[in-house]
Chain A
Amino acid sequence: MKWEAVIGLEAHVQLSTETKLFSRASTTFGDEANTNVNLVDCGLPGVLPTVNKNAFYKAVKFGLAIDASINKVSIFDRKNYFYPDLPKGYQITQMEKPILEGGSIEINIDGLKRKINITRAHLEEDAGKSIHEGFKGTGIDLNRSGTPLLEIVSEPELRSSQEAVAYMKELHKIVTFLDVSDGEMSQGSLRCDANVSIRQKGETELGTRTEIKNINSFKFIEKAIEYEIKRQIAVLESKEKVEQETRLYDSIKNETRPMRSKEFANDYRYFPEPDLLPVVITDKEINDIKKHFPEMPKEKSIRYVQEFGISESDSSIISNSKNLSNFFEDCIKIVNDKVLLAKILVGDISSLLNKDAKEITDTNFTPENITQLINLISDGTISGKIAKDVLDQIRLKNIEPYEYIKEKGLTQISDEDAIERIILEILAKNPEQVEAYNNGKDKLFGFFVGQVMKATQGKANPKSVNLILKKALSNKHT
């Protein structure tokens, strides 16, 4: 029997506004518990919400990026339920009239492109946090209470855990490029609920779905969905029924488990929030957002190739990451050899970033020290090999390339007379190899280069070495 998975995602994106959605308390992450809380956030008797228009602008920006239709009049609703970290006993959200409807996000798996349609995206406030450690009982931290969220609901058009991850990565890219969110998954800025069901291939009806709540990393999205698909297939293959339920993913045991029914069996009693008037977005406001719309990865990628002549593959890698492309654009103003810059960013620097699992913004690399390095390479002062060493030293000790090269005497030898002298010495020391080379053993060329580099501690300009070595060997031949 051939099974097919049907997956829809509800992504929660924390908007990077300075203040909360309905109060002017700060949204800073990681501060001491209950310090970014005002009267409104703790739901005191008599308080009222006021709308943060910046959250709307960010939502509209996202809408424009995914080609959604923007509801110019959007209405808030109350979702009523009791929970200790929900101070008002209801969450202000958008039910009937979300800010965005429709639109799509394109995913790309191994060159295969697919459009995933978006159902809707609505604004809502985040809840606080219950803290169970270090307390007798439970503590409540309301710092997060009221932080603006954009909940983005996809159509059930994803067919595998890989597609789900690709979708979330694409979403991450969009919201970070737009500066709609910082996208920090480890801080909960981007998280999702996954609705998963399976059916036999060719079937058009949807199977019974389960909802996996609150998954907060790409890896866990993949694993949780993977597990859930396998679990549901096993249930169906043993002729049992999948229960419609809400499940939690346990990343330690790598399994999903049903939540206690009390935790979600709510009738939320939605009704329009009477404390807030409908929020109107004008055409002028939308046009202002359009006017200041940031350049998106696709446009960047094309521009980099056209403007700086870098390769398409380098360009696409750089432009797909907000941090890398920002870095690239900062360097480009001061670097002459743009092609080399792109190569080093995508090559040596990226592999160091991968090694440390860091973003470039969290390292010692700066546009200044990388520009120094690129200039040192392109004017022939240091070789590529030395450059690798310099990068590592920046990474570990935050050295200044110019000073470091000078101090360590790593300047490349470009003096051709000096190089010729060394080469002739080496050839004289190795008559047997010279003869073998001249008898057609071309591979020995590398041996001679190696000897030269050894003698110069890698500082000889490789181009000059190649040129002079060839000439010297052919002289020996005649």
Chain B
Amino acid sequence: MTIQFLTISQLSDLLKNKKISYEELVDETFLLIKKYSSINSFITLNQKQALIDAKKLNVSNDQNSLTGIPIAQKDLFCTKGLKTTCGSKMLSNFVPPYDATVVSNLNSAGTICIGKTNMDEFAMGSSNETSFYGNVHNPWKEGFVPGGSSGGSAAAVAAGLVPAATGTDTGGSIRQPAALCGLTGIKPTYGRVSRWGMIAFASSLDQGGPICRNAEDCALLLDAMSGYDEKDTTSLKIDPTKINNNINEPLEHLNIGIVREFKQSDLSVDSQQLFSNTIKEFENLGAKISEISLPNIVQSVPTYYVVAPAECSSNLSRYDGVKYGYRSSNADDLESLYVNSRSEGFGEEVKRRILMGTYVLSSGYYDAYYKKAQQVRRLIKNDFGNAFKEVDVILTPTSPSQAFEFGSKGKKDPTELYLEDLYTISANLAGLPALSMPNGFINGLPVGVQLIGNYLDEEKILKLGHYFQKETDHHLKKPNLEGFA
């Protein structure tokens, strides 16, 4: 029996019916990970502890849906006693003394942490190519990117090594890799999931969420991850979601909006066709489709690339070679300790964003950039508020492109890669929940579609995703991994 490509619910059934033990499941998982190690989806494995944890479960024997389920953690969630690098040389020696709330929530739900997944350095990137730990292959095609920044998480799930992984999403870092790897991923409402222990990139945009094989599993995992945390004052004072129990409830009279400002011409002809097909599929499911306007949405990318770097430039100041992390050995005074530790410890993209952020916050430029960007951000938020008076859910493509070849984008002009986030960024700016799920293939590579929900409407978009997946089979396709074994 192979456990590869099984969903959480399928694995849970196997465990419940004693078709497989917790330890066997963990062992099988590590066999798979080793077999497909060339994908490079993991930075650190947690094999010893995972087996200990599995053994403990045999004793307690209290089977919930998540008990004993192997989960991969994106390597920016702090894991007590387990190296957490954030994809950076800067934290290549960092072992956190504490667990992120997401990690402890999932641990107490009974999941088993298998290891830490590869990612763009400090979550800055859309192709996983900025990682200090090397490129990650898209399981659908060797030499092609899995997307980013949660590229390792997406690749590990797409290759069927684990049924689910955590990700974080600052501008699309869950949804875009989910789309490029044929998976379902959700970025929850800002504040739904605690950021305690989630290494910050841009505090006002960062949000953790799951990447799974389908919407049902996403609901299950989100229910376990979410909830108010007194250690994060920006987390919302509401109970964890309880979506998985209701996921099969019918959705009636659903109005879906299509964004007028997202021009079809931004997509390839094939993508346009796929998107039109998806609209038809939703219509066939009984949804009413209408066009809505988000007048300021065209400003999302520039707005994002002011706000996110500004916050990142400050958040990354703590990596100075003084207390933890990488310290340059070529330092003879305080100034050179700072300069050399940071110059040697950070990669190019991180440095680029720190520079941008430092620039836009500089005295004399603050009003023109950061303050203006925050004003535009408010306008974008208002646009969504107006749109959700008319529709329940907004449907967009997830990404303008499919997986692309290593090194093919952003070499000359880094902003080329920034446009990858065109459809995803606005949900972060507005703090809205958004889900990506597969809606077809072009040349054998998966394509994703995005459902943006109103504030706290995770249930609606997950139900709609689940409904769609009951009627379609895009999410059931599996990549051929022969080349990786």
By a CB distance below 8 angstroms, the chain B residues around A87 are: 318, 322-323
**A73 interface residue (CB < 8 Å to B):** no
**B231 interface residue (CB < 8 Å to A):** yes
* Residue picked from B86, B319, B361, most chain A C-beta under 10 Å: B361
Identity of the chain A residue whose Cβ is nearest the Cβ of B370 in the assembled complex: A271
> For residues 30 through 51 of chain A, which have their beta carbon under 8 Å from a beta carbon of chain B?
39, 42-51
Against A, the Cβ 8 Å flags (1 = close, 0 = not) of B303-327 are 0000000110110111110111000
**B198 interface residue (CB < 8 Å to A):** yes
By a CB distance below 8 angstroms, the chain A residues around B348 are: none
Identity of the chain B residue whose Cβ is nearest the Cβ of A49 in the assembled complex: B233
| CB-CB under 8 A for A51 and B233, given A78-B314, A269-B363 | yes
**A111 interface residue (CB < 8 Å to B):** no
Verify A269–B323 contact, CB threshold 8 A.
Answer: no
Identity of the chain A residue whose Cβ is nearest the Cβ of B99 in the assembled complex: A46
**B175 interface residue (CB < 8 Å to A):** no
**A277 interface residue (CB < 8 Å to B):** yes
**B358 interface residue (CB < 8 Å to A):** yes
Pick from A45, A82, A275, A277: contact of B78, CB below 8 A. Answer: A45
**B204 interface residue (CB < 8 Å to A):** yes
**B234 interface residue (CB < 8 Å to A):** yes
Expressed in whole angstroms, the minimum distance between the Cβ of B179 and any Cβ of chain A is 27
Verify A84–B334 contact, CB threshold 8 A.
Answer: yes
By a CB distance below 8 angstroms, the chain A residues around B334 are: 84
Verify B322–A84 contact, CB threshold 8 A.
Answer: yes
Stretch at the interface among B63-71, B89-97, B212-220, B471-479: B89-97
Verify A82–B320 contact, CB threshold 8 A.
Answer: yes
Verify B204–A274 contact, CB threshold 8 A.
Answer: yes
Verify B317–A80 contact, CB threshold 8 A.
Answer: yes
Identity of the chain A residue whose Cβ is nearest the Cβ of B342 in the assembled complex: A82
Verify B196–A46 contact, CB threshold 8 A.
Answer: yes
| CB-CB under 8 A for A90 and B314, given A48-B196, A84-B322, A274-B203 | yes
**B230 interface residue (CB < 8 Å to A):** yes
Against A, the Cβ 8 Å flags (1 = close, 0 = not) of B335-361 are 100100000000000000000001001
**B200 interface residue (CB < 8 Å to A):** yes
By a CB distance below 8 angstroms, the chain B residues around A88 are: 317-318
**B100 interface residue (CB < 8 Å to A):** yes
Pick from A80, A84, A267, A277: contact of B233, CB below 8 A. Answer: A277
By a CB distance below 8 angstroms, the chain A residues around B98 are: 39, 44
Verify B96–A44 contact, CB threshold 8 A.
Answer: yes
**B382 interface residue (CB < 8 Å to A):** no
Compute how far the CA of A48 lies from the CA of B200 in the bound complex, rounded to whole angstroms.
9
**B188 interface residue (CB < 8 Å to A):** no
**B197 interface residue (CB < 8 Å to A):** yes
Expressed in whole angstroms, the minimum distance between the Cβ of A211 and any Cβ of chain B is 18
Identity of the chain A residue whose Cβ is nearest the Cβ of B194 in the assembled complex: A48
By a CB distance below 8 angstroms, the chain B residues around A45 are: 78, 84, 86, 91, 94, 96, 199-200, 318-319, 324
Identity of the chain B residue whose Cβ is nearest the Cβ of A42 in the assembled complex: B323
Expressed in whole angstroms, the minimum distance between the Cβ of A35 and any Cβ of chain B is 15
Verify B314–A46 contact, CB threshold 8 A.
Answer: no
**A166 interface residue (CB < 8 Å to B):** no
**B362 interface residue (CB < 8 Å to A):** yes
Compute how far the CA of A89 lies from the CA of B319 in the bound complex, rounded to whole angstroms.
8
Expressed in whole angstroms, the minimum distance between the Cβ of A262 and any Cβ of chain B is 8
By a CB distance below 8 angstroms, the chain A residues around B203 are: 274-275
Compute how far the CA of A270 lies from the CA of B320 in the bound complex, rounded to whole angstroms.
19
By a CB distance below 8 angstroms, the chain A residues around B358 are: 269
Verify A46–B230 contact, CB threshold 8 A.
Answer: no
Identity of the chain A residue whose Cβ is nearest the Cβ of B364 in the assembled complex: A267
> For residues 75 through 100 of chain A, which have their beta carbon under 8 Å from a beta carbon of chain B?
78, 80, 82, 84, 87-90
| CB-CB under 8 A for A43 and B314, given A48-B196, A269-B363, A274-B203 | no
By a CB distance below 8 angstroms, the chain A residues around B200 are: 45-46, 275
For the side of the interface on A, what is the size category?
Answer: 20 to 34
Identity of the chain A residue whose Cβ is nearest the Cβ of B371 in the assembled complex: A271
> For residues 42 through 70 of chain B, which have their beta carbon under 8 Å from a beta carbon of chain A?
none
Identity of the chain A residue whose Cβ is nearest the Cβ of B362 in the assembled complex: A267
Identity of the chain A residue whose Cβ is nearest the Cβ of B359 in the assembled complex: A269
Compute how far the CA of A90 lies from the CA of B317 in the bound complex, rounded to whole angstroms.
7
> For residues 64 through 112 of chain B, which have their beta carbon under 8 Å from a beta carbon of chain A?
76-78, 84, 86, 91, 94, 96-98, 100
Expressed in whole angstroms, the minimum distance between the Cβ of A284 and any Cβ of chain B is 19
| CB-CB under 8 A for A50 and B199, given A80-B314, A269-B314 | no
| CB-CB under 8 A for A271 and B361, given A44-B96, A46-B197, A48-B233 | yes
**B232 interface residue (CB < 8 Å to A):** yes
* Residue picked from A44, A50, A140, A268, most chain B C-beta under 10 Å: A44
Verify A275–B234 contact, CB threshold 8 A.
Answer: yes
**A352 interface residue (CB < 8 Å to B):** no
**A276 interface residue (CB < 8 Å to B):** yes
| CB-CB under 8 A for A269 and B195, given A78-B314, A88-B318, A276-B233 | no
* Residue picked from A42, A43, A48, A78, most chain B C-beta under 10 Å: A48
Compute how far the CA of A39 lies from the CA of B77 in the bound complex, rounded to whole angstroms.
15
**B404 interface residue (CB < 8 Å to A):** no
Expressed in whole angstroms, the minimum distance between the Cβ of B358 and any Cβ of chain A is 7
* Residue picked from A43, A45, A80, A262, most chain B C-beta under 10 Å: A45
Verify B318–A271 contact, CB threshold 8 A.
Answer: no
By a CB distance below 8 angstroms, the chain A residues around B202 are: 274
Compute how far the CA of A44 lies from the CA of B97 in the bound complex, rounded to whole angstroms.
9
Pick from A44, A46, A268, A270: contact of B198, CB below 8 A. Answer: A46
Pick from B195, B234, B338, B366: contact of A271, CB below 8 A. Answer: B366
Verify B311–A274 contact, CB threshold 8 A.
Answer: yes
Identity of the chain B residue whose Cβ is nearest the Cβ of A50 in the assembled complex: B233
Expressed in whole angstroms, the minimum distance between the Cβ of A124 and any Cβ of chain B is 16
By a CB distance below 8 angstroms, the chain A residues around B335 are: 262
Compute how far the CA of A127 lies from the CA of B78 in the bound complex, rounded to whole angstroms.
25
Compute how far the CA of A88 lies from the CA of B231 in the bound complex, rounded to whole angstroms.
17
Compute how far the CA of A48 lies from the CA of B100 in the bound complex, rounded to whole angstroms.
11
* Residue picked from B94, B311, B335, most chain A C-beta under 10 Å: B311
> For residues 264 through 289 of chain A, which have their beta carbon under 8 Å from a beta carbon of chain B?
267-271, 274-277
By a CB distance below 8 angstroms, the chain B residues around A84 are: 320, 322, 334
Compute how far the CA of A270 lies from the CA of B204 in the bound complex, rounded to whole angstroms.
16
Expressed in whole angstroms, the minimum distance between the Cβ of B75 and any Cβ of chain A is 11
Compute how far the CA of A48 lies from the CA of B338 in the bound complex, rounded to whole angstroms.
23
Verify B363–A82 contact, CB threshold 8 A.
Answer: no
Pick from B234, B317, B361, B370: contact of A89, CB below 8 A. Answer: B317
Verify B234–A277 contact, CB threshold 8 A.
Answer: yes
Against B, the Cβ 8 Å flags (1 = close, 0 = not) of A246-269 are 000000000000000010000111
* Residue picked from B196, B202, B362, most chain A C-beta under 10 Å: B196
By a CB distance below 8 angstroms, the chain B residues around A275 are: 200, 203, 233-234
By a CB distance below 8 angstroms, the chain A residues around B195 are: 46, 48
Verify B363–A50 contact, CB threshold 8 A.
Answer: no
Pick from B100, B204, B320, B366: contact of A46, CB below 8 A. Answer: B100
**9 A-B interface contacts by CB (under 8 A):** A46-B77, A46-B78, A48-B234, A49-B233, A50-B230, A50-B231, A140-B323, A269-B363, A270-B361
Q: Which 7 A-B pairs have the closest CB atoms?
A: A89-B317, A269-B361, A274-B203, A274-B204, A46-B197, A45-B199, A46-B78
Q: Supply 4 further A-B pairs (C-beta < 8 A) apart from A47-B196, A89-B316, A275-B233.
A: A43-B323, A45-B86, A49-B233, A82-B320
